[in-house]
Amino acid sequence: MTERLAALLHEEAESLAVPPLPADDVVRRGRGLRTRRRVRLGAAAMAVVAVAATATLAGTQLGDRDRPAGRDLAAAVPATDADWAVAQGSTVHLGTGATAQVPGQVKAMYYTSAGMLVRIGKSAATDAPDSAYWLVAPDGTTSDFDLHLGDRKPGTDPTLPYLAYAAPGDDARHWKVVLRDVRTGEVATTVPVEGSFTWGGWNAPPVALSGDHVYVGVDGTLLDVRWRTGEVRTTTIPTHMPETAGGRDVVMGDDGKTVTIIDAATGEVLQSLPYDPADDDPAATVWPRLSPDGSHALLTPMLMCQADTGSCRFEDPRATLIDLPGGRRSVVRLGNADYGWTATGRLLQVDGTSVQSCDPDTGACEPTPVTLDPGANLKVSGNAYES
């Protein structure tokens, strides 16, 4: 596909106001012609949950040369309920009520303890070749992160000031997991890992940052990088695009008809749900969406979109929220496809030009100080917009 054709396709896609839900499904089911393999967690891995992620791949420790001199690795800090944003084009509406302008179309937003890290480019599509990163503080001030990673899936944690990503090493089997401090732009630490990467379509293996772990999707397996010590372990979880949140991830069962929510570090199965893409029942094809803190999973109903306007609404406004790890269920109402999460795990719901913040346990919603422009395409924080 030529670059010109790719650009035209991206422009056409943006005009359709594609909501986050179909984009997430597209990522899991395949990325154009480049296949992403969905993880299958075998029965043996489910049974031996205590050792599912404890086999050591490489026991390396960080040496002085791997840590910039005079810099300590940051401790985690709690997120707040105002840590969230909704983007419209190049405008970022923050949960504090402030707004910011960034020099490009917003592709995705990533939670960090230092503010919202915004990924921008000429196109809002994340697989377009250009990707720059800007940090937006809660008061709306912006700073150029001066980092260009191209088509790459990075990771952040709402309680940490780091952006994690994989960078090429000496050859096709070697990579460096990099943690870069978004406050300064400096590299906080790097950890070398080994593993070929041929399945993804990105220019480096996809990663997820969750607490003291960075999960890396190389061929055949998911690597568990303990970035504070430099230890690298292999897991029994086959490779996939990790979206680990609060230490939890969503994986496909070995039978292809179940989906499980697991503790990524131990492999413990927290919840097992039916999932069968071949089933005509829409309830059997719902992929759980984790909140950024991993405290809840959302099961959304079928999405209906109008071909003439591109607007989308749920066929049944009722969605199911699952409390983790206990599994208690509650029902919430979602008006349209524009929803998201705060960094603390509150559910965000867009209604016209207003945004509500809702308690996932009680369903009680509160107004927010954010007022949106009518009719513009939205990106709501707490969603993965990888494509």
Residue 66 has φ and ψ, to the nearest 5°, of -90, -15
Cβ(319)–Cβ(303) under 8 Å? no
Percent of the chain with pLDDT over 90: 58
The single residue listed with the structure tokens 């372990």 is: 233
Residues in a beta bridge with 269: 262
Instruction: Supply the pLDDT for residue 279.
Output: 78
Q: 75: Cβ–Cβ under 8 A, 6 or more apart, which residues?
A: none
Q: Mapping DSSP to helix (H, G, I), strand (E, B) and coil, where does residue 101 land?
A: strand
The DSSP code for 238 is P
205-249, pLDDT tens digit by residue? 999 999 999 999 999 999 999 999 999 999 999 889 999 999 999
Structure tokens at 96: 């504090």
Alpha-carbon distance 205 to 197, whole Å?
A: 6
Q: Give the closest residue to 167 by CA, choosing from 133, 125, 197.
A: 197
Distances from the Cα of 360 to the Cα of 80, 147, 245, 280, 330, angstroms = 15, 35, 16, 29, 8
Q: Is the pLDDT of residue 190 over 80?
A: yes
Instruction: Supply the pLDDT for residue 257.
Output: 86
117-172, pLDDT tens digit by residue? 999 999 888 888 888 999 999 999 999 988 999 899 999 999 999 999 999 999 99
Alpha-carbon distance 178 to 172, whole Å?
A: 17
Instruction: Supply the pLDDT for residue 28.
Output: 39
Alpha-carbon distance 238 to 71, whole Å?
A: 35
pTM score above 0.75: yes
